[in-house]
Structure 1
Amino acid sequence: MKKPLSVMWLGLRGFPGVQGGVESHAQHLCPLLAQLGCEVTAIVRARYQPRADAHPSQPSDLTWQGVRFAPLWSPRASGLEAIVHTFLGVLYAAARRPDILHIHGIGPALMAPLARLLGLRVVVTHHGPDYERQKWGPFARKVLRLGERLGMRCAHARIAISRPIHDAVRSQHARASTIIPNGVVLPEDNIGADAPRRFGLEPGRYVLLVGRLVPEKRHHDLIAAFQKAALPGWKLAIVGGADHPDAYSASVQDAARDHKDVVCTGVLIGEALMQMYAHAAVFVLPSSHEGLPIVMLEAISHGIPVIASDIAANREVQCEAVRHYPLGDVDALTQCLRDAQAGCSDAQRAAAKNLIRTRYHWPDLARRTVAVYAQVRFGERAAVLASSIDALQASSQAGERQS
């Protein structure tokens, strides 16, 4: 019996139910990689990792849906947390000797040269230019740029989650990358509305924003536009929290308290979050920085209108249900909110679901990820393995259709 391909993931806080784009990416993709025959270990930050008693479906603290967790210590200081944990994670991987060490994000990619020096095969996923985030100062931005340079140039293979990132890797670092975007799970029909009602929200009469309380999400733009739009009987729901509470997260919460029609729910996961999407009248993403926003894909999958700033990452998702406005233009966002009251047509909802099904389907993305691993691990023999994976996926899809 052939030994399965062993893979370690590094550069994330934890999952399931931990807020963040990389964390959501891992929560959906890692179990599918395990189903495709990989031995998957996620090296996570111990203080974020959910315990088994918080997730009854999790058989133990160290495994979940075929994925093994390796919780390691990390400091609480926001500027040191990721890099120290990644350093420890590389040493852990070097001791365990996986076939592939898969590093996520350009900050953790700073440790790619160390991983190579220790004889590991390294894949790096570029989730976006984090040095553009408003929270970082000049020194941190230089470190992140260095992480991007080292990660892109030292990895055996690179994955970009969007076309703009792929093009930047090629132009700035003269390296090829494979585009494998984030994905989304198509929601079921007839989703309940207990969660919105718990926060005093009437289904079909609230604006939704989901994301961490960090400056690049530009919550204040949306709060100002919502107040100017003066939508009668509507409310604004802000879902998310802060990993490290600071002046910005406090300012968002203060602004919500100042306006009776603005509700901060805190972090929501699972069914509660799906209900918030399903019954929103419109979803808004006013960000100044994104990689490829999973929250936008999730909103699209529910067939609701989406309003997003016109940054390149948001424009990457080409869908008739999405309307873009100039970043930071509160007046333009106000008009978009007023126009969005009309909702989506049946044709737009159908096109949105088809987009998710054809471009952002997690099982397809998992197969493409394994193909990258196989190329790094097996080289010329990767084509044979890829064919086997294709056959396995085809068999699985046939079974789903029969059921």
Structure 2
Amino acid sequence: MKIVVTGTRGIPNIMGGVETHCEELFPRIAQSGFDVTVIRRKSYAQDTLTEYKGVKLIDIETPKKKSFEAIIHTFRAILKAKSLKADIVHIHAIGPALLVPMARLLGMKVIFTHHGPDYDRDKWGFAAKTMLKLGERMGTMFANEVIVISEVINDILVRKYGRRDCHLIYNGVPQPEICEYPEYFKELGIEKGKYVLGMCRFVPEKNLHHLVEAFSKIDAKGCKLVLAGDTDFEDDYSLSLKKMAKEHGVILTGFIRGRKLHSLLSNTRCFVLPSSHEGLPIALLEAMSYKLPVIVSNIPANMEVGLDYSAYFHVGNVKQLTEKLQANIDHPYQQIEYDMAKYDWDIIANEIAKLYQSTIK
């Protein structure tokens, strides 16, 4: 069975939640016997790979413009999928889902994964939000099968479109890779167990400016704040965040993967995610897999993970976040055991493989 994947910037080592999802999922799908091709946006691919862990990679030229690149790339990817005689086109995210009807008209089966209501993101203007809402509608109404990554999203699709047969399949998280990297810590100027970690893209809805503001108000007792991540499109927000961070002595790592990221997760005293919008945050699941204490906003996607009440603060409330950070600094570090069973990538891949098989029967 031939599966063609679009709606992602690509794999491997490309920043983004959907990209991390695809990088973990599709090699497992390929290993189970499916012919999988991921169509990448050439401007994001920093390599010349044609295959990654059994997944075929095809790069397509796409203009790197925030408002247009996803839809142009998806249009070209669907035409490519048709030329490849794909049995199923698997489209990720609501923007690319605008073209689900096109793929259906070309005679292909379509599976649409809804990663979250992106029209709630602060970075989009009215026109973009309107198109994203239309994409959600087109994907939900016309895809053969719809996958949702949280109950929150499932409820949205039932309420807005009456679609009650969506498949709830969570994001996953790989096994933690506990490691030390003293040379990297020396380069950053941090010490093991003496920093708080934020890890995400530098976009407004992640509210990292709230984290920087809150951390600047506490008695850090020698601890530092580390922000791991960057932005796809440098804009006023990302520039102001970086300026604010530097003014307050925050450590900025840039986009990192592999041993650098694993060492930061292995040795931090706390992970913080103050977002106003998420689908089901992989970064939070990763932190939980490392048994870290976490402080997160009380948005529905974070609440669905089911953390202890003490881990949450009211989204946007910098005073509460400050208090939570101070409490973490004041108390001895203690690992937390989370139930991660439903976030197992092998189980998730098996569920999606079964869905592929049932879709073409």
Does residue 287 of the first structure (1) align with residue 275 of the second (2)? yes
The 2-side partners of 1:228 and 1:46 are apart by 43
Match of 1:173 in 2: 161
**Unmatched 5+ residue regions in structure 2?**
none
Question: After the TM superposition, which residues 207-222 of structure 1 pair with which residues of structure 2 at under 5 Å, given as runs?
Answer: 207-222=196-211
Aligned counterpart in structure 1 of residue 316 of structure 2, from 324, 328, 332: 328
| SS state at 1:122 partner | strand
Distance 1:321 1:41, change over 3 A: farther
Pair 1:139–1:128, CA change in 2 (3 A): same
- State how far apart, in whole Å, the 2-side matches of 1:106 and 1:187 are: 30
Q: Is 1:257 aligned to 2:246, yes or no? A: yes
Mapping for residues 132-211 of structure 1, pairs under 5 Å: 132-175=120-163, 176-211=165-200
Which amino acid in 2 is paired with 1:27? E
Q: Is the 8 A contact 2:178 2:263 kept in 1?
A: no
Q: Could you tell me which residue of structure 2 aligns to residue 375 of structure 1?
A: 358
SS state at 1:238 partner = strand
Report the Cα offset of residue 322 of structure 1: 7.0
* Counterpart residue number, 2:107: 119
For residue 25 of structure 2, the aligned residue among 24, 29, 39 is 29
For residue 47 of structure 1, report the CA deviation from its aligned partner. Answer: 1.3
Please identify runs of 4+ aligned residues in structure 1 that moved more than 6 A.
none
TM-superposed deviation, 1:321: 9.2
RMSD between superposed Cα atoms in Å: 1.4
Q: 1:228 to 1:108 in 2, by over 3 A?
A: same
Percent identical residues: 40
- Structure (1/2) with the larger helix percentage: 1
Aligned to 1:361: 344
- 1:231-242 matches, cutoff 5 A: 231-242=220-231
1:44 and 2:32 correspond:
no
- Please state how far the C-alpha of 1:343 moved relative to its aligned partner: 5.3
Match of 1:246 in 2: 235
TM (norm. structure 2) is 0.97
C-alpha separation in 2, matches of 1:294 and 1:193: 26
* 3-state DSSP of counterpart to 1:74: coil
**Distance of 2:145 and 2:183 partners within structure 1:** 45
Hey, what's the Cα distance between the residues in 1 that align with 2:185 and 2:354? 41
Q: Deviations over 1:176-235 (max 9, x none)?
A: 210111111121344444433321111111111111111011111000100111211011
Contact 1:281–1:343 (Cα < 8 Å) also in 2: no
Cα distance in structure 2, aligned partners of 1:242 and 1:180: 28
Q: Equivalences for 1:293-308 in 2 at 5 Å?
A: 293-308=281-296
Task: Decide whether aligned partners of structure 1 residues 234 and 345 sit closer, same or farther in structure 2, where only a CA change above 3 A counts.
Answer: closer
- 5+ residue gaps, structure 1, are 53-60, 379-403
Q: Tell me if 1:69 matches 2:45.
A: no
Task: Give the equivalent residue in structure 2 for 1:84.
Answer: 72
> How many residues are treated as equivalent by the alignment?
359
Instruction: Give the secondary-structure state (helix, strand or coil) at the position aligned to 1:17.
Output: coil
- Cα contact 1:308–1:322 (8 A) shared by 2: no
